Structure 1
């Protein structure tokens, strides 16, 4: 669950933080009983911080899990070949998002043939399915890239625009827990900077208004999976500034 915790707690162990301002950090450590948290059809836990618009989100052994991806459409199926999970809280502005992420495997279904972008993508500044930043951290083609989606177009009502150079040579380390960091910052003059690392491999981009106005201000955070069985934990959203 998203919980308020004291950032200064760590600093206190080092130098003390008497008089320091306690800032909230968004956190879902996925602790709790195993089972369904939410799906595109139902919310099994009313206090979940997540809205699932496609696929299914489970808790399994202290981690979030997509379940085994399939095309859905029948009882007992996950539908997680197309997985979309976004925070119900859309007030996240300048933040650092961290999580541990494991891509168990990639799949294909009749509905979802193999595509280069299959894998895992982190969302920041999510305003709607048509307006968001997406950081591709694990892709079938072994590339990392930052994209912006603007309203208007034939991709679920929007159009994607590259904000960063494509970083190659980053194959998915299947079955290994990765540390992912994504940061987003408003810049003087109205641009937005997005930076990300996956176990030290970095990708960076600046949005000066490509496709549509920069997505300054607040939005949601989340995780997208395409033809991917994902496990993830310790989803932390740390406000900056």
Structure 2
């Protein structure tokens, strides 16, 4: 599989300046940098709409995805339902996007992430940035949480049937990992195998967290290929993503 480079970004202080365009306020007071809408949840939920903005790479099921100077951005998070151009809001307080491709079985995902801020309202320990692996749908996937409000790295599995948006989560491994807002961090998230499924999170050539799922302790393993995605909860962040 060829390497695919995806980038997404955010800066605090963003304000809308035109239809489907948001501005990133520079800390030095210079003119705002506009962000162009790439796609949003409106395009997902309105597949026949002529006015929808669509991406050949990403399917955004919740929130909005913008670009500026070759960098992608979730926009300033809010709880609104975005229209075709996200001119009325981003909806990115709950941000979900994944690849249109669903043939990722063994995958190595290099993530450069910069957490700008966490929203103070309705705060939860699990708020932050997460990478989704072998994503079948919103009820069946693996998740590697990289920047959580409670400063934990966590690997989880979600299976259909339960109280969490029609699914149930199983924590496979976790470890404490502090981070600083506004600083870039690089993670390597890998998933391999089917018996067992092995998921690792590394940084700087060092393995930080490892989980093995053989389907015996935490219900069945997810052994089918799926999409790779990024999730954000009450978080503003920017990132770069390479999938191999």
What is the alpha-carbon distance in structure 1 between the residues aligned to residue 81 and residue 55 of structure 2?
Answer: 26
Check if 1:153 corresponds to 2:153. Answer: no
Residue in structure 2 matching 1:171, options 178, 188, 198: 178
Aligned to 1:52: 60
Ranges in structure 2 where 5+ consecutive residues have no aligned partner: 9-33, 45-51
Aligned to 1:19: none
What is the alpha-carbon distance in structure 2 between the residues aligned to residue 214 and residue 24 of structure 1?
Answer: 27
Length-normalised TM-score, structure 2: 0.78
Higher strand residue share:
2
Ranges in structure 1 where 5+ consecutive residues have no aligned partner: 1-22
The 5 A counterparts of 1:72-221 are 72-73=80-81, 76-109=88-121, 113-164=122-173, 166-168=174-176, 170-187=177-194, 190-198=195-203, 200=206, 202-209=208-215, 210-221=217-228
Aligned to 1:3: none
My pick for the range that moved more, 56-65 or 140-149, is 56-65
Check if 1:25 corresponds to 2:3. Answer: yes
Decide whether the 8 Å contact of 2:7 with 2:239 is kept in 1: no
Aligned to 1:16: none
Which contiguous aligned blocks of 4+ residues in structure 1 show a shift greater than 4 angstroms?
Answer: 198-201
> Does the residue aligned with 2:80 lie in a helix, a strand or coil?
coil
My pick for the range that moved more, 210-219 or 53-62, is 210-219
Length-normalised TM-score, structure 1: 0.79
- Which string of whole-angstrom CA distances, capped at 9 and with x for unpartnered residues, describes residues 169-215 of structure 1? x223211111121100005xx21000012455711101111443211
What is the alpha-carbon distance in structure 2 between the residues aligned to residue 146 and residue 105 of structure 1?
Answer: 22
Compared CA separation, residues 141 and 198, structure 1 to 2 (3 A): farther
- Which string of whole-angstrom CA distances, capped at 9 and with x for unpartnered residues, describes residues 70-119 of structure 1? 1113652111110001111010111101121111100134xxx0000100
Aligned to 1:67: 75
What is the alpha-carbon distance in structure 2 between the residues aligned to residue 118 and residue 39 of structure 1?
Answer: 21
What is the alpha-carbon distance in structure 1 between the residues aligned to residue 145 and residue 55 of structure 2?
Answer: 28
RMSD (Å), alpha carbons: 2.0
